[in-house]
């Protein structure tokens, strides 16, 4: 029976999943096996769909984080809420505010889990699975701070033009205005913004690294009304936020889901 295109695509994904260093075109064609020209067309299509990336430095094909993010969402939707959820619940209870976890997906960030610590009064309770705007959120700035300025700005620009709709008065007017936030985050290890992504709202975020502490796999963020999370409140929550991020980094199961290769 002839191998279908779908089966070949799945075979290619499975092959790359056990090749963390990636494979060049010849390696993929030989191991599937299939003609080199056919392998090239297949890899190009998987790259267009966002499942595969080609490292321009060595021509090796690697998996993106799209599948790992999908897997994490699937577990959350089934109610498993993965191993991170107890840590989010603990932090939310300590700070009494909304806590959200964002992970790297494709060339940006997506929120994948949350815990609400505010039991009464004004609550900030957005969609837990939305894409993270890269140009106006502490969540994004914490992640972007792990890149040099040029790479960070390229990622922001790739997400598209700045949309001022429903944003706060501190919204950056051009990508270059986020650089002071990135530099401050590199110096302090955290990012604080207010009245930026939405009027009257503030956020405190830290980057989340993998178990080796060498690669950023997402961000952990506390969000609240500015009246409850002003600059004077940072010290009240920062130690717990950083400790939660360190705890999450040491979870081997979470690291497996969120591990990514820089592209």
For 66-95, the pLDDT digits (tens) are 887 777 666 555 543 557 889 999 999 999
In the numeric block, the tokens 């092959």 are attached to 15
The per-residue pLDDT for 104 is: 87
pLDDT value of residue 213: 79
5-63 against 66-258: fold identical = no
Q: Are the C-beta atoms of 66 and 50 separated by less than 8 Å?
A: yes
Q: Which alpha helices (H) appear in 2-137, and where do they start and end? A: 5-17, 25-31, 36-48, 66-77, 85-95
SS3 (DSSP) at 113: strand
Tell me how far the alpha carbon of residue 41 is from its chain's centroid: 29
pLDDT of residue 210: 83
Per-residue pLDDT tens over the stretch 200-242: 999 999 999 987 778 898 999 999 999 999 999 999 999 999 9
CB-facing half-sphere around the CA of 262: CA atoms within 13 A: 12
d(CA 236, CA 221): 14
Residue 132's pLDDT is: 94
pLDDT of residue 194: 97
* Distances in whole angstroms, Cα of residue 240 to Cα of each of 18, 90, 91: 36, 10, 7
CATH code, 66-258:
3.30.450.40
Contact 84, 248 (CB under 8 A): yes
The SS3 call for residue 191 is strand
Q: What is the mean pLDDT of the chain?
A: 87
What is the CATH code for 5-63?
A: 1.10.10.10
Task: Report the pLDDT averaged over residues 158-162.
Answer: 86
Q: Where are the domains of the chain?
A: 5-63, 66-258
Q: Rounded CA gap, 156 and 175, in Å? A: 7
Tell which wins on pLDDT, 205 or 257.
205
CA distance 165 to 153: 21
pLDDT of residue 263: 38
pLDDT tens, residue by residue, 32-63: 999 999 999 999 999 999 999 998 889 999 99
In tens, the pLDDT along 110-143 reads 888 899 988 766 666 665 557 899 999 999 999 9
In this prediction, residue 215 carries a pLDDT of 86
């Amino acid at each position: 029976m002839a191998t279908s295109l779908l089966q070949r695509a799945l075979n290619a994904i499975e092959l790359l999943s056990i090749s963390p260093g990636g494979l060049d075109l010849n390696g993929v064609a030989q191991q599937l096996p299939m003609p080199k020209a056919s392998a090239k067309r297949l890899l190009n299509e998987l790259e267009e769909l966002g499942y595969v990336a080609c490292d321009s430095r060595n021509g090796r094909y690697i998996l993106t984080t799209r599948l790992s993010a999908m897997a994490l969402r699937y577990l959350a939707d089934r109610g498993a809420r993965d191993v991170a959820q107890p840590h989010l619940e603990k932090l939310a209870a300590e700070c009494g505010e909304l806590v959200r976890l964002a992970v790297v997906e494709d060339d940006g960030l997506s929120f994948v889990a949350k815990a609400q610590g505010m039991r009464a009064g004004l609550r900030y309770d957005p969609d837990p699975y939305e894409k993270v705007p890269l140009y106006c959120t502490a969540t994004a700035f914490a992640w972007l701070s792990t890149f040099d300025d040029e790479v960070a700005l390229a990622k922001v620009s790739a997400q598209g033009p700045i949309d001022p709709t429903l944003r706060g008065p501190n919204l950056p007017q051009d990508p270059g205005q986020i650089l002071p936030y990135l530099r401050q985050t590199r110096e302090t290890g955290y990012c604080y913004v207010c009245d930026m992504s939405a009027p009257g709202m503030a956020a405190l975020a830290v980057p989340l690294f993998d178990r080796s502490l060498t690669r950023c796999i997402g961000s952990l963020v506390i969000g609240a009304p500015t009246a409850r999370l002003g600059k004077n409140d940072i010290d009240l929550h920062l130690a717990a936020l950083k400790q939660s991020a360190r705890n999450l980094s040491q979870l081997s199961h979470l690291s497996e889901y969120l591990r990514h290769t820089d592209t």
